[in-house]
């Protein structure tokens, strides 16, 4: 399947910043079942300083915001061809070793609620590792309702699990934290999802991948109770959200900042 994506990020300021730098991870990855056929980035109100691939093999761009900018618009768009691999990503790529994804981060640190959850997931007779991860995904979906607007980028896996609600980012963090406590390497994935009922979205999507022998990385989308298929576009991976955030930056200035995201994901039929 070919997906056409247009991701527009707009920052508005009531007064110019003295200094602002944005780090972008908006360019999808080629390989492991997906191929970027074309991709462009258009920046208004800022200047691209450099681009590089980070330790997780993510494409990164650094954007310096113009000193007098009152509005910054970043349009990232293109076409990606996806193969349905039923969630199996396969072998590892990038400089960061698999074992790096076994350690907890501040966002995925174990707590009382996470320990209680993991206690429920002891291996069953004749259950293999893949089956155990599917069971973990199902249990998280049952215990943590999808509820937008109740959490934010700083919410930890422990806090979301204890609250019993969250969004795709929280579901991914909870499964990552739990899998690591069980001895599995686990990582966060940011990307895009072709939805059934709408082309227009107000945020990108997130899910997780677990290292399961002998398959390698296997994806789990708890929020939709599926393993990623050809509707999913992988953009960036990391130990948690902070490593794979689509846009992250620093700014110096006393003015207020307003962020608006507009995202369109649609199937391309004129191939």
pLDDT band with cut points at 50, 70 and 90 for residue 15: confident
DSSP 206: E
Residues 25-35 as b or e (16 or more Cβ within 10 Å = b): bbbbbeebbbe
Q: What is the pLDDT of residues 212-241, one digit of tens each?
A: 999 999 999 999 999 999 999 999 999 999
Rounded distance between C-alpha atoms, residue 138 and residue 124, angstroms: 15
Using the predicted structure, report yes or no on whether residue 268 has a pLDDT greater than 90: no
Q: What is the pLDDT of residues 75-89, one digit of tens each?
A: 999 999 999 999 999
pLDDT band with cut points at 50, 70 and 90 for residue 270: low
pLDDT band with cut points at 50, 70 and 90 for residue 271: low
Instruction: Could you list the beta-strand ranges (E) of 54-159.
Output: 59-65, 71-82, 88-90, 145-146
Supply the pLDDT for residue 1. Answer: 93
Supply the pLDDT for residue 14. Answer: 84
Domains, the chain, ordered by start: 2-82+247-267 (2.60.40.2250), 88-244 (3.10.620.30)
Supply the pLDDT for residue 198. Answer: 86
Task: Kindly report whether the global pTM for this prediction surpasses the value 0.75.
Answer: yes
Residue 140's Cβ-count burial label (10 Å; 0-12, 13-18, 19+) is buried
Q: What is the pLDDT of residues 187-216, one digit of tens each?
A: 999 999 999 888 889 889 999 999 999 999
């Amino acid at each position: 399947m070919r997906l056409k994506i247009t991701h527009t990020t707009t920052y508005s300021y009531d007064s110019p910043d003295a200094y602002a730098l944005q780090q972008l991870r908006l360019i999808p990855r080629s390989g492991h079942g997906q191929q970027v056929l074309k991709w462009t980035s258009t920046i208004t109100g800022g200047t691209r300083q450099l681009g590089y691939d980070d330790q997780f093999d993510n494409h990164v761009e650094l954007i310096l915001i113009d000193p007098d900018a009152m509005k910054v618009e970043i349009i990232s768009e293109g076409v990606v061809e996806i193969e349905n691999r039923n969630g199996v990503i396969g072998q590892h790529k990038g400089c960061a070793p698999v074992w790096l994804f076994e350690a907890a981060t501040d966002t995925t640190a174990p707590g009382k609620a996470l320990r209680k959850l993991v206690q429920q997931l002891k291996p069953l007779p004749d259950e293999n590792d893949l089956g155990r991860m599917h069971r973990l995904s199902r249990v998280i979906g049952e215990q943590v309702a999808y509820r937008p607007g109740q959490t934010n980028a700083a919410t930890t896996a422990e806090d979301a699990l204890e609250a019993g609600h969250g969004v795709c980012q929280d579901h991914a963090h909870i499964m990552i934290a739990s899998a690591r406590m069980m001895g599995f390497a686990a990582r966060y994935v940011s990307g895009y999802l072709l939805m059934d009922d709408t082309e227009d979205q107000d945020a990108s999507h997130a899910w997780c991948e677990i290292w399961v022998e002998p398959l390698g990385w296997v994806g789990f989308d708890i929020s939709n109770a599926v393993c990623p298929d050809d509707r999913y576009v992988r953009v960036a991976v990391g130990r948690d959200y902070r490593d794979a955030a689509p846009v992250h930056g620093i700014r110096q200035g006393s003015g207020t900042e307003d962020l608006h995201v507009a995202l369109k994901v649609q199937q391309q039929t004129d191939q």
